[in-house]
Amino acid sequence: MSDEKILSIVKKIYRFTLSVFIIIFTLFLSTIYYYNDPTLSLLIPKEEKNITSSKSVQQKNAGIIQDGIHLETGLIEGEGLMLVVQNCTSCHSAKMITQNRANKEGWRSMIKWMQQTQNLWDLGENEEKIIDYLSTNYPPQKKGRRATLTNIEWYNLD
Q: Which of 12, 49, 92, 95 binds ligand HEC (CB under 6 A)?
A: 92
* 3-state per-residue secondary structure call for 39-89: CCCCCCCHHHHHHHHHHHHHHHHCCCEECCEECCCCEECCCCHHHHHHHHC
Site string for ligand HEC, 99-118 (x = CB under 6 A): -x---------xx--x---x
Distances (CA, A) of 147 to 99, 103, 141, 153, 154: 21, 21, 12, 17, 18
Q: Which is nearer to ligand HEC, 34 or 113 (CB)?
A: 113
**Closest separation in Å from C-beta 110 to ligand HEC:** 5
Q: Which is nearer to ligand HEC, 121 or 154 (CB)?
A: 121
Instruction: Check residue 88 for interaction with ligand HEC (CB under 6 A).
Output: yes
Instruction: Check residue 56 for interaction with ligand HEC (CB under 6 A).
Output: no
Instruction: Check residue 81 for interaction with ligand HEC (CB under 6 A).
Output: no
Task: State the CB neighbour count (10 A cutoff) for residue 136.
Answer: 13
Distances (CA, A) of 51 to 43, 48, 56, 116: 15, 5, 9, 28
What helix, strand, coil percent values describe the chain, rounded to 5? 55, 5, 40
Number of residues that bind ligand HEC (CB under 6 A): 16
Q: Which of 73, 87, 135, 137 binds ligand HEC (CB under 6 A)?
A: 87
Residue 80 near residue 132 (C-beta atoms within 8 A): yes
**Closest separation in Å from C-beta 98 to ligand HEC:** 9
Binding stretches for ligand HEC (CB under 6 A) = 87-88, 90-92, 96-97, 100, 110-111, 114, 118-120, 130, 134
